[in-house]
Structure 1
Amino acid sequence: MTPRTDAGPKGALDRALEILEVLTMRGKATTAELVEAVGVSRSAVYRLVERLEAAEYLTLADGQWRLGPAAARMAMAAVHNMDVLTVAPPMLRDLAHRTGETVSLGVLSGDEIVFVFREIGHQAVHVRSELGARRPLHATSVGKAYLAGLAPERCHETIERLPMQVFTKATVHDRDRLREAVSEARRRGWAEEHGEFDAGSTCFGAPVFDQSGTVTAAISIAGPTARMDAARDPFGPLVAETAAAISHRLGYSDRAKPLAPRPEHQGA
């Protein structure tokens, strides 16, 4: 069977999936709002939501559609069978293959990052990222990336209690400078470390989010400073792109926005 391109006509299944996607992102919507979002006639939307309701994928309450118990069961099954250690490794191996450098995945343990996965690229030399090793939040790209993924209040509280140990001459041990670095990482999508933990290495890290929008891990790419600085492709965007792909596979989406009210409902 030849795959249908995006330019082809959409069928009932496509429209039903769009309705489910809208409600996944927005939480609830009236029939009129679904008509506007999906872009088909009211009668077509009525037929679709009635079939989805009969199969328990949708439920109607107070004039608004919400995801039903069948959708909830499917979502819970997906979450149960999809965690970061299941999803991330293939994409991290691909990143290590593309760059030739060492790629790692870390999770929070106390106020440190613990490496739970590592892939060594073909160019990699020994780097200080052994599996199971613990790393400080303030002096590593993976740690600063994790801080950048935290909610602002929790990030502030975490930084306040960090010991801010000095590892090299480049280690940032001033809390205000750390906050600036974390804010910059949050703005651009990745964190950087230039010899702050290991004087001879440069690292780039990015946070990974789960389906609830909570930071669940962080990934990093590390290598000798001279080679990382001379690389043709920028490592920051590459690690941010990979982290975003992992997050997407975990169910994370940053597209959720309230449905804009239709003109006739404004002021109601």
Structure 2
Amino acid sequence: MAREEAAPKGALDRALEILEVLTMRGKATTAELVEAVGVSRSAVYRLVERLEAAEYLTLSDGQWRLGPAAARMAMAAVQNMDVLAVAPPILRELAHRTGETVSLGVHSGDEMVFVFREIGHQAVHVRSELGARRPLHATSVGKAYLAGLSPERCEETVARLPMQIFTKSTVTDRDLLREAVGEARLRGWAEEHGEFDAGSTCFGAPVFDQSGAVTAAISIAGPTARMDAARDPFGPLVAETAAAISHRLGYSDRTKPQQH
């Protein structure tokens, strides 16, 4: 079958590219826009003039920036981006793909509260009832949330946790918890091996909003024997899913606060 050729780019495509460049860079000269978009200077001039007239761009000190119309559009988008509105279809796909129980948790006090759950076709009873509260230190969803915090906020939170024992595998040493959270931050997901429910293994990852702040965490859980024997590694899968949700919420790597 012959490969379908991409349609040539029109003025709308070029205008969107200009808006994307300024979204990422913050500001750019006309020459920089010409280089980034790859069209003639005259074509860029026509586009930016139209965008300026509609208040999507503004010119200051020889550099273009996003204008008030773009700001209004961004604010309207943010107001309609709620993790409970965005996450469920993506989490259902993960549950369908893996057959295991997938959950979404939000932070409340020193715990996480499950606000969405999708049970996969392989799932047996897993202790993740909707509305249930889970400790930060003994669950993948809790450790994932901690990993998404700034180091300062994370340390403040870890220092005050009660560190309750739930199973013989529950980690109650704060230094070991700090190590686990640090590992989760580096690799992109947290793990729980029988720490809250002795028979289950869970993987969790943080979800970030448009400001770069952690706003929730997701997890995938199942019986330890089946999770260990799975063909696809669950850690990268849950991290990939959390990243997709974060992207839908307006998050990009450049908005995340720097970790020191």
Query: TM-score, length-normalised on structure 1?
Result: 0.90
Q: Percent identity?
A: 91
1:267 has 2:259 as partner = yes
Q: Distance in 1 between matches of 2:122 and 2:39?
A: 53
Classify 1:218/1:6 alpha carbon distance in 2 versus 1 (closer, same or farther; 3 Å): farther
1:158-207 deviation digits (Å, cap 9, x = unpaired): 11111111211111122221111111111111111001111110000011
* More divergent stretch after superposition (91-100 vs 59-68): 59-68
- What is the CA-CA distance between 1:8 and the residue it aligns to? 4.3
CA contact (8 A) 2:169 2:193 kept: yes
Q: Distance in 2 between matches of 1:267 and 1:84?
A: 24
Classify 1:6/1:186 alpha carbon distance in 2 versus 1 (closer, same or farther; 3 Å): farther
Q: Distance in 1 between matches of 2:235 and 2:174?
A: 23
Q: Distance in 1 between matches of 2:4 and 2:43?
A: 22
Classify 1:5/1:84 alpha carbon distance in 2 versus 1 (closer, same or farther; 3 Å): farther
Unaligned segments of structure 2, at least 5 residues: none
Q: Distance in 1 between matches of 2:51 and 2:157?
A: 45
Classify 1:42/1:256 alpha carbon distance in 2 versus 1 (closer, same or farther; 3 Å): farther
Unaligned segments of structure 1, at least 5 residues: 258-265
Classify 1:184/1:6 alpha carbon distance in 2 versus 1 (closer, same or farther; 3 Å): farther
Classify 1:99/1:133 alpha carbon distance in 2 versus 1 (closer, same or farther; 3 Å): same
CA contact (8 A) 1:25 1:256 kept: no
- What is the CA-CA distance between 1:10 and the residue it aligns to? 2.2
Q: Distance in 1 between matches of 2:5 and 2:196?
A: 47
Equivalent residue pairs, number: 257
CA contact (8 A) 1:148 1:185 kept: yes
Classify 1:68/1:234 alpha carbon distance in 2 versus 1 (closer, same or farther; 3 Å): same
CA contact (8 A) 1:26 1:256 kept: no
Classify 1:5/1:50 alpha carbon distance in 2 versus 1 (closer, same or farther; 3 Å): farther
1:240 has 2:232 as partner = no
Classify 1:43/1:5 alpha carbon distance in 2 versus 1 (closer, same or farther; 3 Å): farther
Q: Distance in 1 between matches of 2:255 and 2:7?
A: 26
Classify 1:256/1:209 alpha carbon distance in 2 versus 1 (closer, same or farther; 3 Å): closer
- What is the CA-CA distance between 1:7 and the residue it aligns to? 4.6
Q: Distance in 2 between matches of 1:155 and 1:6?
A: 50
| Alignment correspondent of 1:135 | 134
Partner SS, residue 255 of structure 2: coil
- What is the CA-CA distance between 1:39 and the residue it aligns to? 2.4
Q: Distance in 1 between matches of 2:255 and 2:12?
A: 22
* More divergent stretch after superposition (18-27 vs 215-224): 18-27
CA contact (8 A) 2:206 2:214 kept: yes
1:65-86 deviation digits (Å, cap 9, x = unpaired): 1111111111111112221100
Q: Distance in 2 between matches of 1:44 and 1:22?
A: 16
Classify 1:8/1:26 alpha carbon distance in 2 versus 1 (closer, same or farther; 3 Å): same
Classify 1:6/1:21 alpha carbon distance in 2 versus 1 (closer, same or farther; 3 Å): farther
- What is the CA-CA distance between 1:40 and the residue it aligns to? 2.4
- What is the CA-CA distance between 1:267 and the residue it aligns to? 29
Classify 1:198/1:150 alpha carbon distance in 2 versus 1 (closer, same or farther; 3 Å): same
Classify 1:267/1:66 alpha carbon distance in 2 versus 1 (closer, same or farther; 3 Å): farther
